[in-house]
Every structure is written in structure tokens, then in C-alpha cells.
Amino acid sequence: MSEPSRNDALEALAASRWRVAAALTVATLVAYFGFILLVAFNKPLMGQQLVPGLSVGIVLGAVVIVTAWALTGIYMLWANGKYDRALSQLRR
């Protein structure tokens, strides 16, 4: 009897997953291509040393790597928590 509403809820949940996934993908793209384009177009900035031995480029490169990991972590926390809970309720 509740089939249509259950389907609607599932659709909405699926849509929310794609939205989160798309937003995080865009965030990754921005971080990565932001870094690459800075390397391509602003070499002096990337070579500037914050303290002797530590250039802006090295910091940003490390930041992109850590950001990529952190975004993956954010998705995992969201999906393993909120999303899976909603899904398991619908499954019943």
C-alpha cells in the first residue's frame, strides 16, 4: 500500500546522495585545478618562501593532498551515518 511513498522517499534519498557526491566532486576539482592553475600562472607566488625552506607551493600541494583525504572522509561519515540510517529505515 505504501509502495509509492516508499519509492518517493527512496528517490529523494538517491537524489540527495547524488547532490552530496556532486558537491564534493566539485570541491575536489576546485582544490586540484586551483593548485595546478596557480602552478601554471603564478610561479613566483608558489616559489615564495614563508619561512626559509617552506614555499607556498609545498604548503598548498600538501594541503591539496590532505583536502582530498578529508573530503573523502566527510563523504564516508555522511554516507555511513545519515545516508545509511535513512536507507535502512526505507528497506524495512
Partner 1 sequence: MNPSSTTGSQLGQPNTTAIFFFLLFVGVTLAITYWAARKTKTTSEFFAAGGGVSALQNGFALAGDYMSAASFLGIAGLVALSGFDGLIYSVGWLVGWPVVTFLIAEPLRNLGKYTFADVVAYRLQQTPVRLSAALGTLTVVSFYLIAQMVGAGNLIHLLFGLSYEVAVVIVGGVMILYVLFGGMIATTWVQIVKAVLLLAGASALAGAVLYRFGFSPVALFDEASRQYGAQVLAPGTLVSNPVETVSLGLALMFGTAGLPHILMRFYTVPDAKAARSSVFYATGLIGYFYLVTFILGFGAAVLVGRQAITGMDKGGNMAAPMLAEVVGGTGFLGFISAVAFATILAVVAGLTLSGAAALSHDLWSSVVRKGQAPEHEQLKVARLASLFLGVLAVVLGVVFKGQNVAFMVGLAFAIAASANFPALLLSMAWQRFTTNGAVASMLTGSVSAVLLIFLSPTVQIDLLKNTTALFPLKNPGIITMPLAFFVGIAVSLLFPEKESSERFAEVKHRMHVGAGKPAVAPVAQVPSVSPGAAPRPTATKA
Residues of the shown chain interacting with partner 1 in the complex, contacts defined by CB under 8 A: 10-11, 13-14, 17-18, 20-22, 24-25, 28-29, 31-33, 35-37, 39-41, 43-44, 46-47, 49, 51-55, 57-58, 61-62, 64-66, 68-69, 71-73, 75-76, 79-80, 84, 87, 90-91
Helix (H) / strand (E) element for 54: namely strand 54-55
| Cell (9 digits) for 45 | 607566488
Amino acid of residue 57? G
Which of residues 1 and 88 has its CB atom nearest to partner 1 in the complex? 88
Cβ burial, residue 86 (10 Å; 0-12/13-18/19+): middle
Which of residues 1 and 85 has its CB atom nearest to partner 1 in the complex? 85
CB of 50 to partner 1, least distance (A): 9
Which residue is it, cell 509502495?
A: 3
Euclidean distance between CA atoms 9 and 17, whole angstroms? 12
CB of 1 to partner 1, least distance (A): 18
